[in-house]
Amino acid sequence: MGLFKKTKVNIDPDRLPNHVGIIMDGNGRWAQKRGLPRYAGHVAGAKVFKTIAYYARDIGIKNLTVYAFSTENWQRPQEEVSRIMKVLEEFIDDALNTFEKEKVRIRFLGDTSVFTGVLREKMDRIVAVTDHFPGLTLNIAMNYGGQHEIVHGVQKAMALAQKGELQPDELTPDAFGKMLYFDDCDAVDLIIRPSGELRLSNFLLWQSAYAEFWFSDILWPDFKPAHLDQAILEYQKRNRRFGGV
Ligand code: IPE
Ligand code: IPE
Ligand code: MG
């Protein structure tokens, strides 16, 4: 494990969570506390997102899924939604300039069919040029909702059944898991939610069946690599039984 960055705490590099999920929450409150408009929190949050993603790569995490925009977030004022989209586009622009150096595989999790035009082109481009990187896979959940993902899987299964290509008893949890947005989005081992909220907000509903949780009152723009260390360290102390003894 000499290749990877040493963390400040005693993380066991051989027992890292395979898949970490982060609900990047608290941007708005962070800005409001400073008398700034909410979008300033999204700008600050995007910087932290970049830092944490590359730090996760450096310590050897293989899969990171970040919740960037939910299917419910469209309810926000139009102005805020456009600002969030702009911040995401800026992240992709930056990644398009630096991907050869950063070597992170980037994908978008969610119903991305709603994205069109220039943003869509950039999304497709960053996915294509980073697809071969073997280290960290970064799934950016955009227009993502766990319930929508499950319904999408059910629709796929029904279409196969209608064509006679799937029998009801062939639809096992493993088979169904492959019908979600990605056929290789593994169970999430550790879900991190800052900002003090103790809920999933429609994040990775299927994949979180046996996830461990780490909650904190820190607002996302204040989140530091040391918090990720802490979360992983605590994760490594948990006794995961998966229903066994
Ligand atoms: C998370 O921060 C970012 C998105 C949902 C896009 P919020 O904008 O939800 O911040 P709070 O929860 O209002 O503080
Ligand atoms: C969850 O945060 C979605 C993202 C972080 C992208 P929200 O701020 O939308 O969740 P609620 O409304 O507090 O449940
Ligand atoms: Mg929020």
Instruction: Note the pLDDT tens digit of each residue in 157-169.
Output: 999 999 999 999 9
Residue 45 lies in a domain: yes
Report the percent of the chain where pLDDT is more than 90.
95
Average pLDDT over residues 90-117: 97
Q: How crowded is the C-beta side of 235, counted as CA atoms within 13 Å?
A: 29
Cβ atoms of 27 and 219 within 8 Å: the answer is: yes
Residue 158 belongs to some domain of the structure: no
Query: In this model, does residue 191 exceed pLDDT 90?
Result: yes
38, 76, 79, 86, 92 from 83: Cα distances, Å: 9, 11, 6, 5, 14
Q: Give the model confidence (pLDDT) of 19-36 as tens digits.
A: 999 999 999 999 999 999
pLDDT at 227 over 90: yes
Does residue 68 have its Cβ closer than 6 Å to ligand 2?
yes
Ligand 1 in contact with 25 (CB < 6 A)?
yes
pLDDT at 2: 56
Calpha distance 209→191 (Å, rounded): 11
63 is catalytic: no
Within a domain: residue 3?
Answer: no
Q: How far is the CA of 25 from the centre of ligand 2 (A)?
A: 6
Q: Looking at residue 7, what is its pLDDT?
A: 82
Please give the number of the atom of ligand 1 that sits closest to the Cα of 32.
14
Residue 87 lies in a domain: yes
pLDDT at 9: 85
Mean pLDDT across the chain, nearest whole number?
96
**88 CA to centre of ligand 2 in angstroms:** 16
Tell me how crowded residue 135 is: count the other CB atoms within 10 A of its CB: 17
Q: 227 in a domain, yes or no?
A: yes
CA 163 to chain CA mean position, Å: 33
Q: Is 143 a catalytic residue?
A: no
Q: What is the mean pLDDT of residues 144-161?
A: 98
Q: In what order do the strands lie in the sheet with 137-144?
A: 105-109, 137-144, 63-70, 19-23, 190-193, 212-215
What is residue 217's predicted lDDT score, i.e. its pLDDT?
Answer: 98
What whole-number distance in Å separates Cα of residue 220 and Cα of residue 61?
20
Counted domains in the chain: 1
In a domain, residue 66? The reply is yes
Domain that holds residue 76: 15-146+187-237
Closest ligand to 70 CA?
Answer: 2
User: Residues 12, 27, 58, 73: which is the catalytic one?
Assistant: 73
- Ligand 2 centroid to 201 CA: how many Å? 6
Among 23, 24, 25, which is best to mutate for testing ligand 1, by the most ligand atoms less than 8 A from CB? 25
Does ligand 1 have an atom closer than 6 angstroms to the CB of 84? yes
pLDDT average, residue stretch 83-101: 98
Residue 243 domain-assigned (yes or no): no
Query: Smallest Cα–Cα separation from 177: which of 145, 203, 152?
Result: 152
- For residue 37, give the CATH number of its domain: 3.40.1180.10
Position 1 scores a pLDDT of 46
Those residues whose beta carbon sits under 5 angstroms from the ion ligand 3 are 25
Q: Rounded to an integer, what distance in angstroms lies between the CA atom of residue 123 and that of residue 91?
A: 10
Residues 6+ apart with CB under 8 A from 80: 38, 39, 42
Asked whether the beta carbons of 115 and 123 are under 8 A apart, the reply is: yes
What does the pLDDT average to over 87-91?
A: 97
Contacts of 217 (CB under 8 A, 6+ apart): 194, 195, 196
Which atom in ligand 1 lies closest to the alpha carbon of residue 24? 1
159 located within any domain = no
Q: Residue 154: pLDDT band by 50, 70, 90 thresholds? A: very high
